[in-house]
Chain A
């Protein structure tokens, strides 16, 4: 047996090498843990989270034209769109829009299919609810966004 391996074994060179690396990361600057409710992570712009229905900022009316594309594009069939024809203007008017968040897998196909950019998956990542019924979002809740309390210690 050569001398070098014996030397390494007796003086635990390899263990000390590993331990020295561990001790180098004891510096408080090297802490990676995020203190979540106090420290909120910055998510990317493209993040696919809570869905929103957008409105025209000038008129306050929905951008949705009830074309049913998002409902067709959804792999889980969780969007329902109901509409009726306005007898005066002959346009389709949205009457009911529901989005079942409990079955959503946030794939973003609805967002991609929307021809007027009305439905959007926003960077809002806190989607937990107190009940299953609460997971089914109607048009009002989709437009207004979540009603959220700020929790402080």
Chain B
């Protein structure tokens, strides 16, 4: 397959076509994606995405860290949805350990995950609209995103690289006043989504640029391994939150938006609807947030409470042991996938029984979704490539790891 060659070189067939490099420093490629386009006039004959410009080596780095030290690294893979990465990794290790998280911990995880989805979709909507030429939406989206980031800062201490989840629960309980602030934000949020839709959904220019553009059929979408809203916009009704519930998603009621058109406009509608569904899940989580512990009772894995650590000898010993030696994980391998804003984010963790993972592999949604890009664009106009890249919502840090 031409897409698999290690150093792809394009040979223009005759003098009819020319090869054009789009990226890696192109504002609409959302990072450092290089697209090699073979074009005939303005029509794309062939397209090859070239990745690797943002290779971080995180997958390899994890092998030299303790299990608890990997959590801050997972933030940096998909930097628009740090909490989902944290969660996927923690769930995978917890599955190996056989740990059960108390309900309060699970509900907070769900709540923050849906906030992360809102955060990620807002960045997507803003930049996607900006690429196509609607400047105003970007400003409104980032206004709401600022509120979400302030909430993250309040709960975890950082705006983007949160590192809030731990293997076995959370690092801290929710701060005072957080729930009130979150409630204020989430009650007002659906009206803000109305504003974005007001600007875009029936805007004639927006519809001209997105309707029928970058079509992807359901068969192709499945064959190319796409997941998330890219797949659901092609008419395939899958959502891991509903189909394989994790961390207590079975307790929440939500709809999975599915469209059958398979174009950029359908993907836009899917994601905007997901914004509303996420807001409703956060509201449900707020209404029924249980009391109790936020981390599991597992002294050999989870750090003890700080008060106990300062007063009880046994807790102090466990604290020293976990920090200096790490906790050991029984040998085995596990795959845990969750529904990230982009699609199926899976962590494959292999343990050899020591305190450091033998191998951590991330099945990242951006990488798989990027495969669908040539299928969407070949035979279409060069101006539509920008819309197509925006519509699959890739993060290059997620592609390269």
Contact = CB atoms under 8 A, between A and B. Distances in A.
Nearest to A12: B204
B163 A44 contact: no
A75 B157 contact: no
Interface in A56-106: 67-69, 72-73, 75, 105-106
A35 interface: no
B220 to A, nearest CB: 31
Contact of B157 (A17, A48, A69): A48
B89 to A, nearest CB: 14
Given A14-B204, A18-B198, A115 B154 contact: no
A44 B150 contact: yes
B146 to A, nearest CB: 7
Interface stretch (B1-9, B65-73, B293-301): B65-73
B35 to A, nearest CB: 31
A21 B143 contact: no
A44 B195 contact: no
A103 B395 CA distance: 24
A107 B160 CA distance: 11
A77 B362 CA distance: 24
A44 B154 contact: yes
Given A44-B154, A75-B73, A115 B316 contact: yes
B68 A47 contact: no
A121 B157 contact: yes
A67 B69 CA distance: 19
Interface string A112-131: 11010000010000000000
Given A32-B143, A107-B72, A109-B72, A21 B154 contact: no
B158 interface: yes
Contacts of A43: 153
Nearest to A34: B146
Nearest to A47: B157
B309 A107 contact: no
Contacts, number: 80
B68 A45 contact: no
Contacts of B136: 18, 22
B161 A106 contact: yes
B319 interface: yes
Interface string B188-224: 0000000100111011100000000000000000000
Contact of B324 (A14, A47, A72, A109): A72
A69 B198 contact: no
A46 interface: yes
Nearest to B65: A75
A20 to B, nearest CB: 9
B97 interface: no
Interface in B292-345: 303, 309-310, 316, 319-320, 323-324
A21 to B, nearest CB: 5
Contacts of B146: 32
Contacts of B383: none
B153 to A, nearest CB: 5
A145 interface: no
Given A44-B153, A44-B157, A115-B319, A107 B163 contact: yes
A107 to B, nearest CB: 4
B112 to A, nearest CB: 14
A44 B171 CA distance: 16
Contact of B69 (A14, A17, A46, A75): A75
A115 B307 CA distance: 10
B369 interface: no
Contacts of A72: 323-324
Contacts of A18: 136, 198-200, 203
A23 B136 CA distance: 11
B14 interface: no
Contacts of B309: 115
Given A43-B153, A47-B157, A112-B303, A75 B323 contact: no
Given A46-B156, A69-B320, 15 more contacts: A9-B204, A17-B202, A18-B198, A18-B203, A44-B175, A46-B154, A46-B157, A46-B172, A46-B175, A47-B157, A47-B158, A67-B320, A72-B323, A112-B303, A121-B157
10 contacts: A17-B202, A18-B136, A21-B199, A47-B158, A69-B323, A106-B161, A108-B163, A113-B319, A113-B323, A121-B157
